A and B are shown apart, each in its own frame.
Chain A
Amino acid sequence: MKSEYLSEYDNIVRTMQLYIDGCKQGKSELMRPAFHPNASFFGYAGEQLAIGTQFLFDWIDKNGPAPNIEPRIVSVDILDSIAVVRLEVAEWSGKLAGSGVRMSDLFTLLKTPGGWKIIQKAFHWHAAEQRLAA
């Protein structure tokens, strides 16, 4: 029998996997169930401040498949009904992403009656720095 911690951990990772699947296939519909209806999204895409999950979903659909991304879960911290997940994604590719770029994500999740849902994704897009440095 799994401990309560392990079962919460695995449920969180399953939610994250929906996000990762959506990224890989370039289909926002795959990741939408992972997000809370009131989820928010924040970060800089180059100079532009990107706000709102609709921006994210549109971006994923327009970017298209990114089959070679290398996602790694860096940390999962669970505090009763809330959790923080840090995800590092290397080798981002696609129509908008370009190739071989890196994204650092901080997800906060809320445990709802319908399971663990992403309530916010904050991202840092390392490509912007590389471009600025070049």
Chain B
Amino acid sequence: MPERNTPQKTLESWKQIAAYLDRSERTVRRWEATEGLPVHRHEHERQDTVFAYRHEIEAWSRLRTASPNPSSVDGADTDNLPAPTPIVNKYLVEHDAITRTMHRYIAGARAGDSDLMRSAFHPSATISGYCLGVEYTGSVEHVFQWIDENGPAPNINPRFARIEIIESIAVVHLEVQHWSGKLAGANARASDVFTLLKRNGEWKITHKLFHWHDQ
């Protein structure tokens, strides 16, 4: 297992990422889900494998805010990383806060667990779009139900196609390929446009607009 000072540039498994950060695998998986820990995936036929770049992990550690995570479930395995360097670039602060919110959505979609993504949404958030010619509009609860019924979609590897920030509002275009699951079928593609609102310093999704590409 590589030590923290290993010259190796990439970490090739959850085990290695956890060892590098000196935390449990459970904690680093949660950090990916809730705090945007930069983890990448090799796409394979059956199931993806994860990897991470050391320099990205280092940068994430530096930028990570010092605010305590109230949802910590790891008990003794505390979230104390080396003291983060204060962020001075206002744009980066907002950009990273937005991608952190979006990574909660992605983590929930990947795991098929809406509980992981609920905190990313504003309580009054809505959804709209067409799937197979049927229009869906309504409460974000529809998203949560769909995600839970669909189950895990381990191969999705979303890309941020656009992040545009205007002071208190933002739009994020997410391209999601290799959707799978009970409802999604196999290897489907979705284009999602999220609108976000900054509320009490936190970015929340207020609307998810989707286009489900016909296969």
Contact = CB atoms under 8 A, between A and B. Distances in A.
A102 to B, nearest CB: 11
A38 B137 contact: yes
B129 A81 contact: yes
A79 B122 CA distance: 24
Interface residues of A, number: 28
Contacts of B128: 36, 38, 110, 119-120
Contacts of B199: 49
Nearest to A112: B135
15 contacts: A38-B137, A38-B138, A42-B124, A42-B169, A49-B199, A80-B191, A81-B211, A82-B210, A104-B167, A108-B195, A108-B209, A110-B130, A111-B130, A120-B126, A126-B167
A43 B124 CA distance: 12
B211 A106 contact: no
Interface in A43-63: 43-44, 49, 51
Nearest to A79: B191
A79 B193 contact: yes
How large, as a class, is the contact surface on chain B?
Answer: 20 to 34
B207 interface: yes
A119 B211 contact: no
Interface of B: 122, 124, 126, 128-130, 135, 137-138, 162, 164, 166-171, 173, 191, 193, 195, 197, 199, 206-207, 209-211, 213
A13 interface: no
A38 B128 CA distance: 9
A42 to B, nearest CB: 5
Given A80-B211, A120-B195, 16 more contacts: A40-B124, A42-B124, A43-B197, A79-B173, A79-B193, A82-B191, A82-B210, A106-B169, A110-B130, A111-B130, A119-B137, A122-B169, A122-B171, A123-B169, A124-B169, A129-B167
